[in-house]
Amino acid sequence: MGTSRTQLALASLLFAGLGACVPNARSFPPAGRGERVVVANGDVESRSLKVPPGHFPKPGECRLWFPSRPPGQQPRAGSCVGLARIAPAGSMILYRPTSEKKVIYARVIDPKRDGVIIVTRVYNDRGTYLREDKQH
């Protein structure tokens, strides 16, 4: 009887573990006729920046942002020097250029690799998505 309980427990853990490996995919309304945007694998939703405007960095500064933390528990904004190299997996680097004060660049760090920028998204100062920037 002890062996079958152990086997049942192991099977339950296996199924729970497999469920955690399935990507979390969400669909959004079509961007245009016949088009559909799908965000998968825990990627940050690109339609709007989930950062309150009062927490954007000042022009010329960067801010490391953790999507899973509340705004009051985020690191302070500051220098951009070397920030990309130390940015933890799953975080974002928010940058506000001095030449474009109404624009926020969000460099999305790979969810599994520290310091690896996978995409740079550009938002306006209200957090609305504008475009993706090809250069990181």
pLDDT in tens, the chain (136 residues): 455 665 555 445 444 443 444 333 333 333 334 333 333 434 445 678 999 999 999 999 999 999 999 999 999 999 999 999 999 999 999 999 999 999 999 999 999 999 999 999 999 999 999 999 865 5
Sign, Cα dihedral of 120, 123, 129, 131 = negative
Domain ranges of the chain: 1-42, 44-136
Instruction: Tell me the pairing of strands 117-124 and 62-65.
Output: unpaired
pLDDT at 133: 81
Q: What are phi and psi of 72, to 5 degrees?
A: -70, -10
